[in-house]
Amino acid sequence: MTFTALAFAIASRCGLVNIGAEGQFYLGGIAAGLVAIYAPGLGIPVIGGAVVLVLAIIAGFIAGGLWGLIAGWLKVSFGANEVITTVMLNYIASFLNKYLIGYDGPFYDGSGNPQSEAFKVSFERGFFIQNSDMTITIVLAILALVFYFIFFFKMKKGYEMRVVGLNSTAAEYAGIKVKSNALLAMFMAGGFGGLAGVSELLSAQSRILPDFSSGYGFDGVAVALLGQLHPLGMGLSAILFAVLKSGGLAMGNKGTISPYIVNAIQAFVIILVVASVFVQDEYNRRKLIRQAKAPKEE
Amino acid sequence: MAPILEMKNIVKQFPGVLANDNVNLTVEKGSIHALMGENGAGKSTLMNILYGLYAPSSGQILFNGQEIQITSPKHAIEHGIGMVHQHFMLIPALSVIENVILGRPENKKVLDLKTDAEAFVALGARYSMKIDPYELIENLTVGQQQRVEILKSIYRGAELLILDEPTAVLTPQEVTELFKIMTQLKEEGKTIIFISHKLKEVLTICDTITVLRLGKSQPSVPSAGTTREELAEMMVGRKVFLNVDKGPYNPGESVLKMENVFTKGIHGALNDVSLDIRKGEILGIAGVDGNGQDALIESITGLDKVTQGHIFIKGNDMTNATPRQVLEQKVSHIPADRHKRGMVSTMSIKENMILISYYKEPYQKFGFLNWKFIEETSEEIVKRFKVKTPNIQELGGKLSGGNQQKMVLGRELSRDPDLCIAAHPVRGLDIGATEYVHECLVAERDKGNAVLLVSTELDEVLTLADRIAVMYEGRIMGILEKEEFDITRIGMMMAGQNQ
Amino acid sequence: MKQKKGLIIGIIVLVVLLAVGFFAPDNIKNTLASFIAQDLRIALPLAIAAAGLVYEQRSGILNLGAEGMMLTGALFTWIGTSLFGGNPWLGILVGMSSSLIMALLFGFLVITLRSNQTVIGISINILALGLTSTIYRVVQTMNITVNAFPSISDVLSKIPGIGAALTNEVPNGTELALTQIPVIGNFLTTIFSQNIMMYIGIVFIFFLNYVLFKTDLGLKVRAVGEYPKACDTTGINVFKIRYGAVLFSGLLTGFAGGLLVLDIKTFVENVTAGKGFIAVAAVIFGKYTPIGAFGASLVFGGAQAIQYLIQAVGLKAPSDLMNMIPYVVTVVALAGFIGKTHVPAALTVPYTKE
């Protein structure tokens, strides 16, 4: 969730609304999954388990990034609304995944169910806390947040991207290339969306299945918005929503309550957060008026 | 004659600003009444209250002797008050007649455009105006749009017409046309409130003058027998020196040279533009807004593509260079629209200060920004250019207009430019800030740097420039030397005539 | 001029269709006819939602929550229909009321509170997905019957006097008398045998187009989306117009969601599957006019119906890849046609008076 939140947040910092984390999640997951299935069998001796995992991560990042880049390219070249294109790309990615591992697809395992072969390597569970489901991806997530902070607030490229996001005409005036920054932002955003897919698939699942994302893309949007695009805020809200979601999934397994109730809660939270901005503005405005009036009445 | 309008003790409080402080205004029926004052003196606020756009914090409005409450423009229109805003309230994507009848309560559910169009054309003919009622507004010139606005108000039954800075967008010749229409309206018994800060115009056309200063109204005076100097003093509250001290004029070698430049232009096209600016001079670009000034600046700064011709900066061919390449030639640019181009209002002052130079050492090293150095330089610029702010962490957008402009000016001039391009540098600033900006530009010139000054305020260009180029429809109509400065001639050139 | 171009394309398409109807061999004729009928059925909900969204966008509000409103409308139409013993008319009213509530929430947030339209739109989608799926799990055990709208031939046959002349009695109901026309009779019958809502819907879309461009109200809506301040100065209540457009569009998106459910006669989680977003794309592709959006919906509907066509012709293609086509076409249409049309100048810009 941290990763999909970053997918949304990075694009947002550059003034783009990336709702495509879901699709980027699929692409990243597929790429990493394929590496985890087929790379160990290539017979190249240097490819050990850890190396395969690193390759899987890189492949996932690049695949998700390229998927994000499609929407970025459509935006900068044709001005196509990235919200709609990323949503469409989510559906396309989901069907692409179904096709690839479906009965007619190239990665079907022949078992009678639409699925790929099992991964030969995956992240080891019980990381840090024994017998838990936690894997090393938690470290990756924290590193990603740290990277996000340093990139946008300490580095010149991040500064450049923020200028583009906040005022693209000023960026143009200052000689900053708006289009290439938007493309890079969408690639990075997509890459993190892809990493989300990598970490889910190689931590919690054993093979590529249809619909292997249970709405992580939208969760990311909620996390990023609740965290107000701030790295620490996003980290905390990711934990909050993760707890909610696993609770929701557990409820969904036991009774008639849908795990989707979590979505409804998320939406309410975002709406409250967004609305509170208005309330705060209004409060400040009234305070200013009162202050201005006060000396006159004395 | 009886007053048509009396506004008594009007107070309007905005967050942090007292825009109108016990303002009184009495307007006689059938007169042209001037409302004067500096930017920010409260003229527009007062008129927006009269037109129902703002609710006054307190005060009383009497119209034709009756006290009325105007809570929306709808009320104002019903009472016969019409307003032509400085920024026209016309919708570019709709036709003339659609704009004219928009929002009229007497419209039928299914529109009958034809009847209204015929009546409107007939009305136009009365004031010798030819109008195509089905033309889209965006295809009209600024002057035509203004006439549509005036006629629209009359068509909808205005008895009292508010004209907010109507001459700001017109050529001197168009101003004469406007004055003819105003006189005819007055003869027909209509009343006009004319908002302006141009002393000469006010004295020419108006009967009575009310001056606002810092939100307070001064007693009204008749225009007959009042001099420009007296008016100026009333506006500013002290003696104004309309001249700027400049060093002697010693132009050096050429800094910017444009040779037969053509552009297609997002904001209008350039058509065969040639000019050159030398060290130690201010070249003023005069012209009515929208005659290619933006295109000129965009072609020089690399924001727009040159389709033909050449641009040289200090002898280097910079035709179609990128904005960054141009900026690196020690060119600084104070853009016309500082909110849109010159600054990022949701970023802090220090972040705004590095907008142009962030990628250079020592602002950054190995891709990381050097915040310590950035903060030190920002503090220094803020101090040197007298930007009033609690600290440099403050958001740029929180500063007042004058301080925002000082921030942009400080950033641009502290880069030690050889060429400074300043577009409408004092637009929206009060007199104090205006004087300061002018001083800074003249100081650049006296240091031996070149300044390109674009302004639609003819007075500003006349006072500051050493030479003046007049633009009309993307062309340079001519470049005048100091001794050729002549307002009539420049006016003709601004309207596209050159004898 | 632009509108005329659309008209010309429309006429050419009709002429080609008639030519096929007259001269093509029977198997091609039948395949084409069922493709068109299918296309119309898929396009109608899109077009209805898009027509509402045209009004909304013309008034300056980009509603990316259309997907969620459609989904809400779909679920509650489904529930409502079964509450009223399968009656689709009352059911769809229930659906429309539910999406109206969503629209009210959306309108309050973006108009009164001036929140970011994109963010709120997305939140509405997440909210709707969560709520509908949760409620669905609760009510899915209910005994649900959904009846479709009556077919056009059933309705016509009941008109006294001319009913008998327009329709024929057939063993399990009625059919249009069009079958009696030589050569193209069956071809036309397949296309025109739709339920009554198809006819009402299409007439309604043309009516909306007329209102938008020929009436005082339409002028106000168009003006508010271009330059709200100017509208305010001529005495138009910007907030009222915008609220009106948002609520009206909410009703229509809910209606569209209801049509989806009544067409497939059941509800499944996320039944809209991006159709709300495709409707937004249809608005842009259709140059912000109701009729244009209808044309765009036919294109997108065709992209979905094409899989039936391909199956009918006997080509084999993986269904997952076929399912992608409408989404791919939407993306391509968005990329190819944006920038060539005038976008309302104040779209997504909140209005504040002072």
**Residues pairing with B332 in the sheet:** B420
**Rounded to a whole number, what is the distance in Å from the CA of A8 to chain C's nearest CA?**
11
Question: Which of B328, B345, B349, B329 lies closest to B337, judged by CA?
Answer: B345
Cβ-based contacts of B326 with chain A (< 8 Å): 175
In order of their start, the domains of chain B are 3-236 (3.40.50.300), 253-495 (3.40.50.300)
Query: Each residue of B192-246: pLDDT tens digit?
Result: 999 987 778 888 899 999 998 888 888 888 888 888 778 777 877 665 555 677 8
Q: Three-state secondary structure along A43-81?
A: CCCCCCHHHHHHHHHHHHHHHHHHHHHHHHHHHHHHCCC
Chain B interface includes A142 (CB < 8 A): no
Nearest-CB residue to A157 (from B323, B341, B367) = B367
The structure's pTM equals: 0.87
| Residue C314 main-chain phi, psi, to 5 deg | 95, 10
The SS3 call for residue A138 is: helix
Q: Which amino acid makes up residue A73?
A: W
Question: Tokens at residue A288, please?
Answer: 């200013």
Query: Each residue of B369-413: pLDDT tens digit?
Result: 999 999 999 999 999 988 888 889 888 888 877 889 899 999 999
Tell if the CB–CB gap between B16 and A172 is shorter than 8 Å. Answer: no
Say if CB B107 and CB B101 are below 8 A apart. yes
Distance CA A170, CA A162 (A): 11
Evaluate the omega torsion of the peptide bond into residue B417 and state whether it is cis, within 30 degrees of 0: no
Distance CA C48, CA C53 (A): 9
Question: Which of A95, A94, A114 lies closest to A104, judged by CA?
Answer: A114
Kindly tell me the burial class for residue A24, based on how many C-beta atoms sit within 10 Å of its own C-beta (0-12, 13-18, 19 or more): buried
Tell if the CB–CB gap between B73 and C229 is shorter than 8 Å. Answer: no
Q: Which residue reads 């955003």 in tokens? A: A189
**Residues pairing with C170 in the sheet:** C173
Torsion angle of alpha carbons C80, C84, C87, C92, nearest 10°?
-20
| Residue A152 main-chain phi, psi, to 5 deg | -80, -25
**Residues pairing with B420 in the sheet:** B332, B451
Question: Tokens at residue A18, please?
Answer: 């990336």
Nearest-CB residue to B103 (from C214, C231, C342) = C231
* Most confident of the following: A145-154, A201-210, B104-113: A145-154
Distance CA C93, CA C257 (A): 11
Chain B interface includes C227 (CB < 8 A): yes
**Residue A298: its pLDDT value, please?**
31
How far are the Cα atoms of B87, B219, B238, B382, C236 from residue B431, in angstroms, in the given order?
22, 21, 11, 20, 37
Chain B interface includes C233 (CB < 8 A): yes
Q: Which residue reads 């290539």 in tokens? A: A42
Tell if the CB–CB gap between A173 and B301 is shorter than 8 Å. Answer: yes
Say if CB B142 and CB B132 are below 8 A apart. no
Annotate C188-223 with b (16+ C-beta within 10 A) or e (fewer). bbbbbbbbbbbeebbebbeebbebbeebbbbbbbbb
Q: Which residue has the higher pLDDT, B472 or C308?
A: B472
What's the full length of chain B, in residues? 499
Q: Which C residues 164-223 touch A at CB under 8 Å?
A: none
The SS3 call for residue B182 is: helix
**Residue A297: its pLDDT value, please?**
35
Nearest-CB residue to A275 (from C115, C269, C278) = C115
Question: Tokens at residue C91, please?
Answer: 């059911």
| Residue B55 main-chain phi, psi, to 5 deg | -95, 130
The SS3 call for residue A155 is: strand
- Assign A295 a pLDDT band (cuts: 50, 70, 90): very low
Distance CA B266, CA B304 (A): 8
Say if CB B156 and CB B133 are below 8 A apart. no
- Average confidence (pLDDT) over B283-310: 90
The SS3 call for residue A141 is: helix
**Residue A296: its pLDDT value, please?**
39
pLDDT digits (tens), chain C, 354 positions: 445 677 888 888 888 888 888 888 888 888 888 889 999 999 999 999 999 999 999 999 999 999 999 999 999 999 998 888 888 999 999 999 999 999 999 999 999 988 889 889 999 998 999 899 888 888 877 767 778 888 888 888 888 777 777 777 777 777 787 777 877 788 888 888 888 999 999 999 999 999 999 999 999 999 999 999 999 888 899 999 999 999 999 999 999 999 999 988 888 888 898 999 999 999 998 989 999 999 999 999 999 988 877 877 777 778 888 889 999 999 998 887 665 678 888 888 888 865
User: What contacts B188, CB < 8 A, 6 or more positions away?
Assistant: none
Question: Tokens at residue C322, please?
Answer: 């076929």
Question: Which of C254, B322, C334 lies closest to A88, judged by CA?
Answer: C334
Chains that touch A (3 or more CB pairs under 8 A): B, C
Distance CA B256, CA B241 (A): 32
Say if CB C107 and CB C313 are below 8 A apart. no
List the single residue in B with minimal CA-CA distance to C344.
B93
Q: Which amino acid makes up residue C17?
A: L
Question: Tokens at residue C315, please?
Answer: 């080509």
**Rounded to a whole number, what is the distance in Å from the CA of C219 to chain B's nearest CA?**
7
Chain C interface includes B344 (CB < 8 A): no
Distance CA B436, CA B441 (A): 9
Distance CA A231, CA A149 (A): 6
Distance CA A192, CA A57 (A): 10
**Residues pairing with B311 in the sheet:** B258
Going by DSSP bridges, is the β-strand pair B467-472/B450-454 parallel, antiparallel, or unpaired? unpaired
> Residue B42 has what DSSP assignment?
S
Q: Which amino acid makes up residue B103?
A: G
Q: Which A residues 233-292 touch C at CB under 8 Å?
A: 256-258, 260-268, 270-271, 274-275, 277-278
Query: Each residue of B91-130: pLDDT tens digit?
Result: 999 999 999 999 888 888 888 899 999 999 999 998 888 8
Kindly tell me the burial class for residue B142, based on how many C-beta atoms sit within 10 Å of its own C-beta (0-12, 13-18, 19 or more): middle
* Residue C73 CA to its chain's centroid (Å): 13
- Average confidence (pLDDT) over B480-493: 84
How far are the Cα atoms of A282, B397, C61, C243, C331 from residue C351, in angstroms, in the given order?
15, 19, 10, 12, 30
Question: Tokens at residue A55, please?
Answer: 């390759």
Distance CA C260, CA C277 (A): 15
**Residue B410: its pLDDT value, please?**
92
Q: Which amino acid makes up residue C324?
A: M
Asked if the model's pLDDT at residue A157 lies above 60, the reply is yes
Chain C interface includes B162 (CB < 8 A): no
Say if CB B275 and CB B258 are below 8 A apart. yes
Cβ-based contacts of A17 with chain C (< 8 Å): 118-119, 122
**Rounded to a whole number, what is the distance in Å from the CA of B147 to chain C's nearest CA?**
16
Chain B interface includes C231 (CB < 8 A): yes
Question: Tokens at residue A170, please?
Answer: 């000023």
| Residue C175 main-chain phi, psi, to 5 deg | -140, 165
Tally of helices (H runs) and strands (E runs) in chain B: 16, 23
Query: Each residue of B358-372: pLDDT tens digit?
Result: 998 889 988 899 999
Nearest-CB residue to B367 (from A156, A175, A285) = A156
User: B384: part of which helix (H) or strand (E)?
Assistant: helix B371-384
In order of their start, the domains of chain C are 2-6+30-151+194-336 (1.10.3470)
Distance CA A178, CA A170 (A): 10
Dihedral sign of CA atoms B76, B80, B84, B89 in order: positive
> Residue C178 has what DSSP assignment?
G
Domain locations along chain A: 2-230
Asked if the model's pLDDT at residue B499 lies above 60, the reply is no
Question: Tokens at residue A298, please?
Answer: 């004395």
Tell if the CB–CB gap between C138 and A274 is shorter than 8 Å. Answer: no
- Assign A253 a pLDDT band (cuts: 50, 70, 90): low
Test the C interface: residue of B74, B91, B139 with most C CBs within 10 Å: B91
